[in-house]
Amino acid sequence: MAADAPTPLTAADFSSAVTAITSAFGDPTRREIYLWLREHPEGATAAAVAERFELHANVARHHLDKLAAGGYLEVSTARAPGGGAGRPSKRYTAVASENPIEFAVRHDDLLVSLLGKSLALLPADVAARMAEEVGIEYGRALAASLGSQEHAQRSFRSALHAVADALSAHGFAAHAEKQGDELRIVAQHCPFGGAAIEHPVICAVDRGLVKGMLSSLYGDTQPATETTQALGSETCVTVVTAGS
């Protein structure tokens, strides 16, 4: 039996994939760090990367966190053998993959359509709440994959950028920006496709993703949907304010 033909890549999916790859590998030093880690399967700490590439530790950590947010590095936390009582160091390891740069469609049209029709059977407020809760749970799982449970080490703004990077890696082509007194995440592509247009309640998943990730990376926040492509806007915008 012949293998199933690959799903054709749409222009929007291609644009989203390019945004994610550019965010992760647009900096030449970051590319070199990634290639070096690919050659060292045991991984390395930010301090080791900083020493190897003659960088300030904070700069090395920024590059590593960018790669981790894009799904190209895994992060673990463990004390070195014979280590003292200080905080354990994060160890960054390249994700095992022969081809880390893949233009994969990150949604399944059939399952998303099923989700939309299932949500349509519920009262609107119940459906929105459930969709947001699913997003929150998955967002927390994404944050955990970055190995970051240290709220105090990450500012509100840096956490927001990490969320945008992770969303881009999942097909949203997102970036964080400041407009006036607001901090916002702007997504230029919706990976849920036409299902979100038919069932805009699915957009609550986006809001939940942001809230779930930020709850682990930073702390309590109050994301609010400002615009969505499902209702005719050019971009999906989530406004985020820190909790009191």
CB atoms within 10 A of CB 83: 11
Greatest CA separation for the chain: 59
Per-residue pLDDT of 76-107, as tens digits, reads 876 555 555 556 678 999 887 666 555 444 45
pTM of the model: 0.65
Would you identify the CATH topology of the domain 11-94?
Answer: Arc Repressor Mutant, subunit A (1.10.10)
The CATH class, in words, for 109-242 is alpha beta
Rounded CA separation 16/3 (Å): 26
Percent of the chain with pLDDT over 70: 77
Among residues 41, 28, 187, 208, the alpha carbon closest in space to that of 106 is found at: 187
Report residue 170's pLDDT band, with 50, 70 and 90 as the boundaries: confident
Q: Which residue ranges make up each domain of the chain?
A: 11-94, 109-242
109-242: same fold as 11-94?
Answer: no
Report residue 109's pLDDT band, with 50, 70 and 90 as the boundaries: low
Among residues 194, 71, 214, the alpha carbon closest in space to that of 140 is found at: 214
Bridge partners (DSSP) listed for residue 182: 179
CA 97 to centroid of chain Cα atoms: 19
Rounded CA separation 60/69 (Å): 14
- Give residue 151's pLDDT: 45
